[in-house]
Amino acid sequence: MRNLRHLLTAALLLLGACTQQPVRNIPVVTGSGTPTPPPAGTEIIGPLPPDSMTSEAPAAPARPPQPARQLADGSHLPAVKGLVASADRALAKGEVDLAAVNLERAQRLAPQSALVYQKLARVRLKQSRPAEAEQLARKALAYATGPVQQAELWRLIAGARRQRGQQAAAQEAEAKAVALETGTAGG
């Protein structure tokens, strides 16, 4: 029985050491062997003594709600504009792979730019990589701000699905694009 009590005490001390909760008013043993309380305002971090396990811990102060962080899409940055323009010039010359490289760089600089994802999705379709094109277009949908751009993205998704031989799914995507254009889209 005595061993069990020691084992239980050791477990509670270990548990307290693992949680590292602040402990207040723990008596400090001085050289004379007499316990004295620590100075007022002192907060000691360490294991909780077994007798303090029954007392209630003070409630943590409530944190004010944090506003949702929203990052700028970055498409207005000069470097991103230059990369997108270079990609457009490369596409005009038929250099699809060079356009892809420029847009991938732009995407790293502007990870929330619907325009960059949209252009990269178009390039992936030209490269006959429809699965990636659809994935990029869906990512762009998350950042697209208006129904015109969203409709264009659904058309890209439809084209990607057609390349993969998914005619029914392509028709569904086209229907979403039409609904956005006519203002009858529900989401």
Looking at every residue in the chain, the average pLDDT score rounds to 80
Per-residue pLDDT tens over the stretch 108-154: 999 999 999 999 999 999 999 999 999 999 999 999 989 999 999 99
Q: Does the predicted model carry a pTM greater than 0.75?
A: no
- Residue 51 above 80 pLDDT? no
Which of 37-41, 77-81, 114-118, 178-182 shows the lowest mean pLDDT across its residues?
37-41
Q: What pLDDT does residue 73 have?
A: 79
Q: What pLDDT does residue 185 have?
A: 66
- Residue 107 above 90 pLDDT? yes
CATH code matching the domain that covers 78-182, chosen among 1.25.40.10, 3.20.10.10, 3.40.50.1260, 3.30.360.10:
1.25.40.10
DSSP the chain: -HHHHHHHHHHHHHHHHHHT-EE----EE-TTS-EEPPPTT--EESPPPGGGGGSPPPPPPPPPPPPPP-----TTSHHHHHHHHHHHHHHHTT-HHHHHHHHHHHHHH-TT-HHHHHHHHHHHHHTT-HHHHHHHHHHHHHH--SHHHHHHHHHHHHHHHHHTT-HHHHHHHHHHHHHHHHT----
Q: What pLDDT does residue 84 have?
A: 96
